[in-house]
C-alpha cells in the first residue's frame, strides 16, 4: 500500500479523504523536488504532464502534482458522476436546477451538417436560425446597406451591455482586433452604469452613422437600460428625429425577451433572440456576439465557433485523464481545496488578451463562487478561488514582487502566444519578432521562478543575486500557436468546461447567480431614496449609509 493510502486507511476511505492524505504526504515535496535538475524523473514527468490539442498546448508540469495525484483526482471526478453529468449537459438535461433550465451554450456553436447529441437537436436548430439572421445583419452592414435615420451609411457600432453581455464579446473583439478583416465598421463597448464610457463616444462619434446594439439577456438590467436611454436620447436630440424613428433605424436588440424588445420599439427585423438555456456568462457564441461578427466579419466569427466546438467534442469524447478541460479543472480544485491556495492569477503574456482576467473572473467566480450545494447543504470548504490578474509583462513591474517574495501562496495560469502574423515592412516585422521572443522568454522565466524560487537561479549567478525567492507557486502554461479565432474559441470553451467540471466536483449549480440579485434589489431601494421616490419600506436603516447619503446630497 502506498504512503497516501496508508494515511487514509485510518479514516473512512473516500476519494476526498484519499486526496487530503495525499496532499499531506506531498507537503514534504516542493516543486523543486518534482521538477528540479536533481530529480531523476523530472524529464519523464514533464513530458507526461504536457498535452496538445490542435493549436493549443497545455503544460501542467509546474503544478504540485504527481501521476498519483492525477489518478486520485480522476477517481474523485468519477465518484462525482462526472462522465454521466457531462453526457447530461450535452443532452440538454436541466443542469441549472434552481432555474429549471438546460445549459446549452454548446448548441450555439454546433456546426450545421454534424448531428448533435440526442436532446440538443431543437436547440441547435434554433441557434442556426438565429445565426442566419445574424449573418444577414452583419453582411448588410458590411455592404454599406445599413442606413441611419437620416439616410447615411453606418460606420460605428456601440455595443451596450454588462457582465456576460459585455465581457466576452469585448475580450474577443480586443484579442482579434489585428486579424485581417474586410470590414469598415468600428465597434465600441459600453458597460459602466455611470455613463463614463458612453460620454467620450457621444463626443467623438457621428450620431448619423452610429448603430446601437442593446445586449441584455433579461432586458431588465439597470446598467444597460440607463446607458441605452442616454445613447438614444443623444441620437434623437442630435439628429432631430423622434425616439421611435431612432429605434427603428439605429438600434439592434439582442435578448431572450423578444416581447420586451418589441415593446421597446425595436422592429422584428432588428431583433436577435437567444433562449434562457444559454447563461449570460456563456453567451458570447450566441447573438450576443453580433458585435464581434460586425467587427471581424463572419469568417472569423465562424472560426471562433469552430474552435469552441472542437473543444466541446474533445471534452465530450475524451477519457478524463487526457481531457484538457477536465485536467485544468482537477488541478484547479486540487490547488484550492487540498493545497488551500485561495487565489489564482490569470497572466496573459500578450497585450491583446488584456481583458481575459476580467472575463474569467465573471465566468469562474459568478459560476462557482457559491457555498450551498445542489442538495441544499453548506459546502465546508472554499470553492472557486479568487481569480485576478493582468497582462503578465506589465504586471512584472507591478505585483510580481509579492508573488515572488511575499507570504501568499498563489496559483497561476500563464497564457502565451507562440507567434504572431504581422503585416508590416520587413524591418518592423523583425523588430516585433524580437519583442515576441522577449515576451515568451519573460513568460517562461517567471513561470520557472514561481515554481522553483531560488533554485531557478543558475549556480554561477547565485552569489550575485538576492536570495529569498520562495518558489513552490504552482502554475500552468496555456500556449497558443497563434492568437487566431479558432485557437481563442478553443481556449475559452476549455475554461467554460473547466467551470462545469469543478461545479460537479463541488456539487454546485454553476448556472445561476442568486447572490448578485440581492445587491441589485438593494441598489434599487437606495436609488429610490436618492431620487425622492422611496416608499416607507425603501427607507435605509443603517446610520453609516444614512450619513453617506446625506453627504452625497450635500455635494450634489
Ligand X SMILES: O=P(O)(O)OC[C@H]1O[C@](O)(CO)[C@@H](O)[C@@H]1O
- How far apart are CB 215 and ligand X at their closest, in Å? 7
Nearest of 486, 475, 467, 423 to residue 446 by alpha carbon: 475
DSSP symbols for 112-173? TTSPPPTT-HHHHHHHHHHHHHHHHHHHHHHHT--B-TTSPBP-EEEEE--GGGTHHHHHHH
Whole-number Å distance between alpha carbons of 58 and 48:
11
- How far apart are CB 256 and ligand X at their closest, in Å? 8
CB burial class (10 A; 0-12, 13-18, 19+) of residue 532? exposed
Active site residues: 366, 397, 520
**Which residues contribute to the site for ligand X (CB under 6 A)?**
161-165, 216-218, 221, 224, 280-281, 366, 513, 516
- How far apart are CB 387 and ligand X at their closest, in Å? 15
| Closest CB to ligand X among residues 119, 258 | 258
- How far apart are CB 520 and ligand X at their closest, in Å? 8
- How far apart are CB 112 and ligand X at their closest, in Å? 27
| Closest CB to ligand X among residues 254, 304 | 254
| Closest CB to ligand X among residues 116, 164 | 164
In sequence order, the β-bridge partners of residue 178 are none
- How far apart are CB 165 and ligand X at their closest, in Å? 4
Whole-number Å distance between alpha carbons of 451 and 454:
9
Grid cell, residue 256, equals: 431572450
- How far apart are CB 217 and ligand X at their closest, in Å? 4
Rounded to a whole number of angstroms, the distance between the first and last alpha carbons of the chain is: 72
Grid cell, residue 336, equals: 484550492
Residues in the chain: 556
Nearest of 491, 499, 552 to residue 527 by alpha carbon: 552
> What stretches of 418-546 adopt beta strand conformation (E)?
475-480
Nearest of 506, 514, 210, 279 to residue 384 by alpha carbon: 506
- How far apart are CB 255 and ligand X at their closest, in Å? 8
| Closest CB to ligand X among residues 348, 510 | 510
| Closest CB to ligand X among residues 160, 293 | 160
| Closest CB to ligand X among residues 428, 516 | 516
DSSP symbols for 402-446? HHHHSS---EEEEEEES-----S-HHHHHHHHHHHHHHHHHHHHH
Whole-number Å distance between alpha carbons of 222 and 303:
33
| Closest CB to ligand X among residues 30, 224 | 224
Nearest of 161, 214, 200, 206 to residue 186 by alpha carbon: 206
Q: Are 78 and 320 in contact (CB under 8 A)?
A: yes
| Closest CB to ligand X among residues 19, 167 | 167
Amino acid at each position: 500500500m502506498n504512503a497516501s493510502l496508508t494515511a487514509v486507511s485510518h479514516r473512512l476511505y473516500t476519494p476526498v479523504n484519499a486526496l487530503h492524505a495525499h496532499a499531506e504526504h506531498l507537503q514534504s515535496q516542493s516543486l523543486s523536488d518534482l521538477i528540479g535538475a536533481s530529480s531523476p524523473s523530472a524529464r519523464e514527468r514533464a513530458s507526461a504532464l504536457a498535452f496538445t490539442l490542435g493549436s493549443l498546448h497545455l503544460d501542467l508540469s509546474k503544478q504540485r502534482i504527481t501521476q498519483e495525484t492525477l489518478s486520485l483526482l480522476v477517481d474523485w471526478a468519477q465518484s462525482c458522476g462526472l462522465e454521466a453529468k457531462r453526457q447530461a449537459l450535452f443532452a440538454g438535461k436541466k443542469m441549472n436546477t434552481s432555474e429549471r433550465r438546460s445549459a446549452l451554450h454548446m448548441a450555439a456553436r454546433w456546426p450545421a451538417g454534424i448531428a448533435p447529441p440526442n436532446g440538443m437537436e431543437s436547440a441547435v436548430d434554433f441557434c442556426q436560425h438565429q445565426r442566419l439572421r445574424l449573418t444577414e445583419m452583419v453582411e448588410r452592414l458590411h455592404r454599406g446597406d445599413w442606413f441611419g435615420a437620416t439616410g447615411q451609411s453606418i460606420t460605428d457600432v456601440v455595443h451596450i451591455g454588462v457582465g456576460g453581455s459585455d465581457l466576452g464579446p469585448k475580450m474577443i473583439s480586443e484579442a482579434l482586433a489585428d486579424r485581417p478583416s474586410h470590414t469598415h465598421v468600428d465597434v465600441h463597448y459600453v458597460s459602466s452604469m455611470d455613463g463614463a464610457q458612453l460620454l467620450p463616444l457621444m463626443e467623438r462619434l457621428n450620431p448619423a452613422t452610429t448603430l446601437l446594439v442593446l445586449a441584455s439577456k433579461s432586458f431588465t438590467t439597470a446598467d444597460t437600460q440607463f446607458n441605452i436611454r442616454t445613447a438614444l436620447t443623444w441620437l434623437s436630440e442630435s439628429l432631430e428625429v423622434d425616439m421611435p424613428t431612432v429605434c427603428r433605424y439605429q438600434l439592434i436588440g439582442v435578448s431572450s425577451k423578444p416581447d420586451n424588445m418589441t415593446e421597446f420599439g425595436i422592429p422584428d427585423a432588428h431583433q436577435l433572440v437567444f433562449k434562457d438555456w444559454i447563461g449570460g456568462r456563456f453567451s458570447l457564441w450566441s447573438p450576443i456576439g453580433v458585435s464581434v461578427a460586425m467587427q471581424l466579419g463572419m469568417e472569423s466569427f465562424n472560426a471562433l465557433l469552430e474552435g469552441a466546438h472542437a473543444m466541446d467534442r474533445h471534452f465530450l469524447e475524451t477519457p478524463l485523464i487526457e481531457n484538457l478541460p477536465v485536467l485544468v479543472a482537477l488541478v484547479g480544485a486540487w490547488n484550492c481545496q487540498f493545497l488551500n491556495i485561495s487565489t489564482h492569477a490569470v497572466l496573459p503574456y500578450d497585450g491583446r488578451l488584456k481583458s481575459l482576467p476580467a472575463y474569467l473572473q465573471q465566468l469562474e467566480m459568478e459560476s462557482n463562487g457559491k457555498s450551498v450545494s445542489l442538495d441544499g447543504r453548506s459546502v465546508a470548504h472554499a470553492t472557486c478561488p479568487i481569480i485576478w490578474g493582468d497582462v503578465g509583462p506589465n504586471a512584472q513591474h507591478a505585483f510580481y514582487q509579492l508573488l515572488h517574495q511575499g507570504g501568499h501562496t498563489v496559483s497561476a495560469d500563464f497564457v502565451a502566444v507562440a507567434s504572431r502574423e504581422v503585416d508590416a515592412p520587413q524591418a518592423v516585422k523583425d523588430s516585433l519578432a524580437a519583442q515576441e521572443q522577449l515576451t515568451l522568454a519573460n513568460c517562461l522565466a517567471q513561470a520557472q521562478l514561481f515554481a522553483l524560487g531560488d533554485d531557478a537561479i543558475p549556480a554561477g549567478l547565485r552569489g550575485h543575486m538576492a536570495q529569498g525567492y520562495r518558489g513552490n507557486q504552482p502554475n500552468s502554461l496555456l500556449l497558443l500557436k497563434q492568437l487566431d479565432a479558432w485557437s481563442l474559441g478553443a481556449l475559452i470553451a476549455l475554461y467554460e468546461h473547466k467551470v462545469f467540471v469543478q461545479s460537479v466536483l463541488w456539487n454546485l449549480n454553476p448556472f445561476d447567480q442568486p447572490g448578485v440579485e440581492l445587491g441589485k434589489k438593494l441598489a434599487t431601494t437606495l436609488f429610490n431614496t436618492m431620487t425622492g421616490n422611496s416608499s416607507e419600506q425603501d427607507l435605509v436603516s443603517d446610520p453609516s449609509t444614512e450619513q453617506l447619503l446625506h453627504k452625497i446630497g450635500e455635494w450634489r
